[in-house]
């Protein structure tokens, strides 16, 4: 494998920093332009969070709610909104973007030449849906992506499959569809024929959701399979559309 000297690494760090600063300036301008506008699902999550905290009886079961793809999100985002308003939610998205940028830089620094890493970071930083997610998007999307990417970084830097999968699975508590990516990690481990790591990763993936269900009397599991959103995800989308999304969104 080709070695890169210190000047290459220094130049790569500087280029990544320039991309980050430019992206932050653009996103801040976009946030100011969009004002109080957010995705419909953000308002939906806030509404569910308000329902949870303003319930007449304390101890309302912590479950996934119909039409929502998240467990912990509505409670967390409602609290954030209550204290800091809409711009608090957008500030969280901006901070999550910076952390995602740093994690992807860590992946690139380990495996790719500095200029290839910079190109990938530029595409990520200015991808249309990255901009929209920061300026008006769902905090659950950003959080799930952050946990999954952190899990990848932990694995490639030698922290083991259990810890990596455990962190990835924490993202599922904020957006259950993130489990698709976590299963991709399992498929990779099967591909490299490391069955010990497969078993450890499966344990790590199961633990957060299991703990949540123990705390909620398994009502979270029951609500997941009763969710109209889950049925729509699996049964109301054609395979042609699934394949298109698989490649067009970069999931592959």
With vertex at residue 193, the alpha carbon angle to CA 191 and CA 195, rounded to the nearest 5 degrees, is: 120
- Distance (Å) of CA 193 to CA 158, 168, 198: 17, 21, 9
pLDDT in tens, 121-174: 999 999 888 888 899 988 999 999 999 999 999 999 988 899 999 999 998 888
pLDDT tens per residue, range 188-228 = 889 888 888 899 888 888 888 788 777 766 766 666 666 55
Mean pLDDT of 229-240: 64
d(CA 181, CA 85): 31
Each as own residue / partner, the long-range contacts of residues 32-39 (CB below 8 Å, 24 or more positions apart, any chain) are 33/135, 34/135, 34/136, 36/86, 37/136, 38/86, 38/89, 38/136, 38/137, 39/136, 39/137, 39/138
CB 27 within 8 A of CB 134: yes
Report the pLDDT value the prediction gives residue 69, as an integer from 0 to 100: 65
Nearest to 153 by CA among 115, 92, 110: 110
- For the whole prediction, is pTM greater than 0.95? no
Work out the pLDDT band at 1, boundaries 50, 70, 90: very low
3-class SS of residue 93? helix
* Contact status, residue 135 vs residue 34, Cβ threshold 8 Å: yes
Other C-beta atoms within 10 Å of 142: how many? 23
């Amino acid at each position: 494998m080709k070695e890169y000297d210190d000047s290459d690494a220094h130049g790569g760090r500087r280029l990544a920093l320039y991309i980050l600063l430019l992206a932050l300036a653009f996103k801040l301008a976009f946030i100011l332009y969009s004002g109080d506008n957010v995705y419909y699902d953000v308002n939906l999550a806030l509404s569910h969070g308000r329902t949870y905290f303003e319930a007449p009886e304390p101890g309302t079961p912590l479950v996934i709610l119909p039409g929502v793809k998240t467990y912990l999100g509505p409670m967390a985002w409602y609290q954030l909104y209550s204290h800091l308003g809409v711009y608090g939610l957008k500030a969280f998205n901006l901070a999550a973007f910076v952390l995602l940028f740093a994690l992807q830089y860590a992946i690139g620094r380990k495996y790719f030449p500095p200029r290839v890493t910079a190109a990938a970071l530029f595409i990520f930083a200015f991808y249309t849906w990255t901009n929209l997610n920061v300026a008006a998007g769902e905090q659950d999307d950003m959080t799930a992506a952050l946990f999954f990417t952190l899990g990848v970084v932990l694995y490639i830097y030698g922290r083991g499959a259990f810890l990596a999968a455990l962190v990835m699975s924490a993202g599922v508590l904020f957006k259950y569809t993130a489990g698709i990516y976590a299963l991709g990690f399992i498929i990779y481990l099967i591909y490299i024929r490391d069955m010990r790591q497969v078993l450890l990763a499966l344990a790590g993936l199961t633990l957060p959701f299991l703990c949540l269900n123990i705390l909620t009397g398994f009502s979270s599991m029951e609500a997941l399979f009763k969710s109209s959103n889950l049925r729509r995800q699996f049964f109301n989308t054609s395979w042609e559309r699934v394949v298109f999304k698989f490649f067009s969104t970069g999931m592959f």
